[in-house]
Amino acid sequence: MRLVFLSLLIATVTLSAGLKRVTLTKALSMLNEKNLEVKISKFEEGIKFYEHKAVKAKSYGELDLTYTALRSNDAGNVFGFKLQSREANFGDFGFSDFMGALGQGVAQSAMLDPNGQPNFGYFAQGLAQNGDKILALQPKDLNYPKPRNHFITKLTYKVPLYTGGMLKEYRTITRKMYKMSKLDTQKVLSLKRYQVKKTFYDISLVNSFIANLNKIKRNIKKLARIIKEMKKEGYAVETDYLEVDSRLAEVESMLKEARLNKRLAYHFLSFLVDTKIDSIIAPRRAPKTPRVTKRIVEAKSIDIAKAKLGLKITKHAVAVEKAKTKPQVGAFVEYGFADNKVVPISTKKDFWTVGMQAQWKLYNGGADKAALEKAKMNYLKVATQVKLAKKGIWLKASKLKSEIRSLQGRVRSYQKQYKFASRVYLTYKEKYKLGIVSITDVLIKQSKQLEMLMKLLKVKNDRNAKILELQSVING
């Protein structure tokens, strides 16, 4: 039983364990494949692709198969059923009643001949006299038919012949919308790459901060031991030790906070790549500042590419509105069978129809003209937005370049100040051993060292963020 429990425990630990020593290159590769937001954006790409396919398909027309099953005793329906299935005869018109009445008239007319021979002159005279009665007859076969089944099978093909270019423009628009969705995916991917890179550099800085805090913690503990020894000799007092102990508690608190931030960074990184990550190989060097010019920005910026593509789409939208003012022409072909049986057994009961239709909207109160002018105004608006995007993104890139240069200078300055503060602290620690300065002086210098360390790491973090943002601007 213990063996089973141990096996389950080992399996659980193995399953919960994350990847270790993940490189930035590996993380970016995992991002492309596993990030959930990127996946959603790719699904959106697929939707736009099939929207384009659906519009493209409209140019090929529609072929419909229709099967209809009917049963009726309605006089008009039954007569129509028989006529459509090519089974109508004169009896369906009520000719049996008509011929009966006509036969009586013939017989009566023939009896008027003294020679006993049919006389058609008398027949015509009798027909004229009795015509109203004959015409007033209500044929039973026509008015009260028996119920009849009717089954119709039809194939109908409809195809647009001329749409004024509307279908062509819609095809172009949906194709460009598909390209736009690809740019959207690149934009999402660029943002996520920025977040992954920044998280890697954040972890690297936190690691550096933790290492330096541990070093400071060791120095404080050494100082505490020195104070204990000096206290035995009467050169230190209890308050000196309490001050150092208080500083040690402060550093330990900062260590806990740094470790918590590190853990949160790993959680965020795991979320970005949708895989649990326990440790990384942190970059040793700061990110490289990319070379940026106006030409590079316009060539690589996703936002500018989207703006340009949007301008092309609005241009085709103008063409669509123009096409709506032109005639629309379509054709259709229909072929089918009609019978009182479920499956027709003879091609003599088939039928076909061909035709075409032209429609031209001549007047609708100026609505089409207004829609066209609106599309033209939208095109001009988007053209202005493209100019604004170019200038705005170049301004952003220029600002980032200036901020990076400024932050680089501050990094060099804080590095020198931190190095100097560390040397001063060590000097004061030695002076304390000699009794030249108080423990308060030593801790003040150590506070300055810690302050410069935090400033240095913060400015490094700001610099890295600006460099990575500049890379993101040019889709780097």
The three-state secondary structure class of 394 is helix
**Structure tokens given for 443:** 């801790």
8 Å CB contact between 292 and 393? no
CA distances from 430 to 108, 190, 236 (A): 153, 52, 14
Contacts of 21 (CB under 8 A, 6+ apart): 279, 280, 281
Q: pLDDT tens digits for 135-153?
A: 655 666 667 788 889 999 9
Amino acid letter, 323? A
Note the pLDDT of residue 1.
45
Rama region for 94: left / alpha / beta (φ>0; ψ in -120 to 50; rest): left
Query: What is the residue-wise DSSP string for 300-358?
Result: H-HHHHHHHHHHHHHHHHHHHHHHTTS-EEEEEEEEEEEESSSS---GGGEEEEEEEEE
Say if CB 194 and CB 472 are below 8 A apart.
Answer: yes
User: Which tokens go with 231?
Assistant: 């206290």
354 pairs with which residues across the strands? Answer: 333
Give the Cα separation of 402 and 391 in Å (integer): 16
pLDDT digits (tens, 9 = 90+) for 227-267: 887 776 676 677 888 888 888 899 999 999 999 999 999 99
Q: Give the span between the Cα atoms of 35 and 278, in whole angstroms.
A: 18
Report the alpha-carbon distance of residue 291 to residue 289 in Å, rounded.
7
Residue 306 Cα distances to 179, 302, 310, 433, angstroms: 9, 6, 6, 67
Q: What is the pLDDT of residue 455?
A: 94
257 Cβ contact partners less than 8 Å away, ≥ 6 residues apart: none
pLDDT for 244 equals: 86
The confidence score (pLDDT) of residue 340 equals: 87
What residues of the chain score a pLDDT lower than 50?
Answer: 1-15
Q: CA-to-CA distance for 234 and 228, rounded, in angstroms?
A: 10
Q: 62 vs 33, 52, 158, 288, 320, CA distance in Å?
A: 39, 17, 5, 57, 22
Distance CA 384, CA 307 (A): 10
Q: Nearest-CA neighbor of 243 among 91, 398, 413, 447?
A: 447
Where is 367: in which H helix or E strand?
Answer: helix 367-433
Strand-pair partners of 225:
none
H or E element at residue 17: none
Res 92: pLDDT: 59
Q: Where are the domains of the chain?
A: 18-60+164-325+361-473
Q: Which fold has domain 18-60+164-325+361-473?
A: Outer membrane efflux proteins (OEP) (1.20.1600)
Helix H or strand E segment including 428 = helix 367-433
The CA-CA-CA angle for residues 40, 43, 44, to 5°, reads: 90
pLDDT, residue 252, reads 94
Identify the residue whose tokens are 């989207």. 306
Q: Which two tokens stand for residue 310?
A: 């949007």
Taking a C-beta distance cutoff of 8 angstroms, is the pair 162, 32 a contact? no
**411 Cβ neighbours under 8 A, 6+ residues apart:** 456, 459, 460, 463
| Cα–Cα distance measured from residue 226 to residue 220, given in angstroms and rounded to the nearest whole number | 10
One-letter amino acid of 416: K
The pLDDT of residue 235 is: 64
Predicted TM-score (pTM) of the model is 0.81
Show the CA angle centred on residue 408, arms to residues 403 and 414, nearest 5°: 120
